[in-house]
Chains A and B, each alone.
Chain A
Amino acid sequence: MKPLLEVRDVTMRFGGLLAVSDLSFEVTPGHAHGIIGPNGAGKTTAFNIITGIYAPTAGDVLFRGESLAGQRPSNIARRGIARTFQNIRLFRDLTVLDNVRIASDAHARYALPGAMVQLPAARRAEQETITRCLDLLEKFGLGDAAYERAGDLSYGSQRRLEIARAMALQPALLLLDEPAAGMNSAETLKLVEFLGWLRDHFSVTMLLIEHHMQLVMTFCDRITVLDFGKTIAEGTAAEVRSNPKVIEAYLGPEDGHE
């Protein structure tokens, strides 16, 4: 099958710091692809490059076979790559509904003058967006909170809302940056279930960064291991687990890091 996302020899330098070096991997449609690696390995930086927040120093990213070079983040998002952030970045002062609506608006097609004089088309589009978003929130168990301020939600609900917001973009590829951060093992177990549901229900391909070994090993079809910006291993959970380099760099000092 043709890969959905191809990262080709991507390098990112911040001044003298080599954050990502010659990173290459492919994500197959329908798969969940994991990226693991110690702190500062360059995982988030890779996400920022894929989503267009940083322009890589060298290399290219292809989505559905087309290069994303020079594309602005909003365009990349509209093309079908949605993401969450390592430290939650919700629109805190807005309602839960508005958070989701902003992402959903990427698919609304009415012009500014039409909006300002309330043409019927604009009104209809607005009404449709609201219905669609309330529906989506319902699916994520946030239906009752739709009119609450996003910043007032509990931490767990905020994480869920961030994923719901990303899904409102109707993406083909969902990037999750440490979705299990700050969760205990019971919650993590539930998260695995939730991610499985997400994948099946929306048939979305996933690329996820995680420190929770258990989650990555059980959930991901393929795993890329980074260390100091370099890819040190790639393969299935079993392959990665038995790779001596990985054991040395990542699992080595203390089995089951974190």
Chain B
Amino acid sequence: MTRWFRQPPPRGVLLTLLAAGLAACFVIEQFGLVDDYVRFVLITLGINIILCVSLNLVNGWMGEFSVGHAGFMALGAYLSACVSVKWLAWGDPLWMFPLAVIGGGLLAGAVGFLLGLLSFKTRGDYLAIITLAFLMIVKSGLENIPYVGGARGFLGIGNQTTLLSTAIWTVLTLWAIRNLVYSRFGRGIVAVREDEIAANAMGVDTRKAKLAAFVVSSFFGGVAGALFAHQLQFINPSVFDLVKSTEILVMVYLGGVGSLAGSILGATAFTFLSQALQPLGTWRMVILPLLLVLLMIFRPRGIMGMREFSWFVPRREFPAKEEKK
């Protein structure tokens, strides 16, 4: 992988920036420094980054093609809504909401595990179809569960997704996925993409690699869904359709496959583009897929495809500096 800089910045810089960013989110929230629209867009941005980087694990690093990410989102969204509205509504949001989000992530992760099992034998087109079937099943399944409102949707969800909680989850997701991709599991996942047979012959347990990718990817997909539900305060099954999945795909392939920096870039570009296109109504969903098609034809790996910004790469990955004797 080629990188922007040969060496990462001094150790403290990233941490300081991070702390400053989170503090800024807290201050903005506390003192209402931005208007509701800006706040909404910023929260959406955070959620989109989580969605993008988590889908990138399967579609980018592992090189598979999943169109089911909106399904995991839906699972996270509905489960967390059940927790915060029905099961633990009496709880203090300070602990109850993180619990709801984690619960949503766990449900999505568990289902992701099952989908991962199916990826042992099937790859490529067939796996894409399986994820599509999964998406349709989640959507039409939810439509038939009166407990969560059926096709009408789930009403009355609290407005618990704050700028700060979104920022924290975004940073956590990026950090965890960075650690994953620069570990033996991440290399196993990448090896599956590069050459599954060679990976197996080199001792990579490709089944574990696939499960790891699917479980982690869907867990964070569920987390994003939970945050999304508590941002919109109203969800219904048709929100989590193929269009939603396509939006995430646009982010991934725009920013760049197999790249953390690319995921952030893709999610950011998409979020602002999508806002800018809002006045166009349904034509927006003509322009976005068109962008995707053009990307595939002219730049199939996206802007940052397989490249990384050195800030996101662990220090140990860089060659040690030559010591002058």
Partner of B184, one of A52, A74, A105: A105
Query: Would B201 and A53 count as touching, CB distance under 8 A?
Result: yes
Q: Which residues of B contact A112 (CB under 8 A)?
A: 180, 183, 185, 212
Q: Which residues of A contact B183 (CB under 8 A)?
A: 110, 112, 115-116, 122, 126
* Assembled-state Cα–Cα distance A118/B176 (Å): 9
Q: Is A78 an interface residue (CB 8 A)?
A: yes
Q: Is B281 an interface residue (CB 8 A)?
A: no
Say yes or no: A110-B184 contact (C-beta < 8 A), given A91-B191, A130-B316.
yes
Closest A residue, CB atoms, query B190 = A94
Say yes or no: A169-B202 contact (C-beta < 8 A), given A105-B184, A115-B180.
yes
CB distance from A56 to the nearest CB of B (A): 17
Say yes or no: A105-B194 contact (C-beta < 8 A), given A115-B183, A146-B319.
no
Q: Which residues of A contact B316 (CB under 8 A)?
A: 123, 126-127, 130
Query: Would B306 and A93 count as touching, CB distance under 8 A?
Result: yes
Say yes or no: A105-B176 contact (C-beta < 8 A), given A91-B190, A98-B187, A146-B319.
no
Listed residue (B180, B183, B207) with the most chain A CB atoms within 10 angstroms of its CB: B183
Q: Is A33 an interface residue (CB 8 A)?
A: no
Query: Would A101 and B205 count as touching, CB distance under 8 A?
Result: no
Query: Would A116 and B201 count as touching, CB distance under 8 A?
Result: no
Q: Is B243 an interface residue (CB 8 A)?
A: no
Q: Is A222 an interface residue (CB 8 A)?
A: no
Report how many A-B pairs have Cβ atoms within 8 Å: 108
Question: Could you give, for residues 202-222 of chain B, a 1 whenever the CB lies within 8 Å of some chain A CB and a 0 otherwise?
Answer: 111111000010001000000
Give the interface size bracket for A toward B: 35 or more
Report A112-167 residues with CB < 8 Å from chain B CB. Answer: 112, 115-118, 122-123, 125-127, 129-130, 146-147, 149, 165-166
Listed residue (B190, B198, B202) with the most chain A CB atoms within 10 angstroms of its CB: B202
Query: Would A89 and B203 count as touching, CB distance under 8 A?
Result: no
Q: Is B165 an interface residue (CB 8 A)?
A: no
Q: Is B310 an interface residue (CB 8 A)?
A: no
Partner of A73, one of B2, B180, B200: B200
Question: Could you give, for residues 66-89 of chain A, a 1 whenever the CB lies within 8 Å of some chain B CB and a 0 otherwise?
Answer: 000000111001100011010001
Query: Would B204 and A102 count as touching, CB distance under 8 A?
Result: yes
Query: Would B179 and A118 count as touching, CB distance under 8 A?
Result: yes
Say yes or no: A89-B179 contact (C-beta < 8 A), given A53-B200, A74-B206.
no
Partner of B194, one of A53, A73, A93, A103: A93
Q: Is B92 an interface residue (CB 8 A)?
A: no
Q: Is B195 an interface residue (CB 8 A)?
A: yes
Other A-B pairs, 8, CB within 8 Å; known A115-B185, A115-B186: A51-B201, A72-B205, A74-B206, A90-B195, A94-B191, A98-B187, A115-B180, A126-B314
Interface on A for B, CB 8 Å cutoff?
51-53, 72-74, 77-78, 82-83, 85, 89-95, 98, 101-103, 105-106, 108, 110, 112, 115-118, 122-123, 125-127, 129-130, 146-147, 149, 165-166, 168-169
Lowest 8 A-B CB distances belong to which pairs? A106-B203, A115-B183, A105-B184, A91-B194, A77-B203, A73-B200, A89-B198, A103-B202
* Interface pairs (6), CB distance under 8 Å: A82-B202, A91-B190, A93-B306, A126-B183, A126-B184, A165-B202
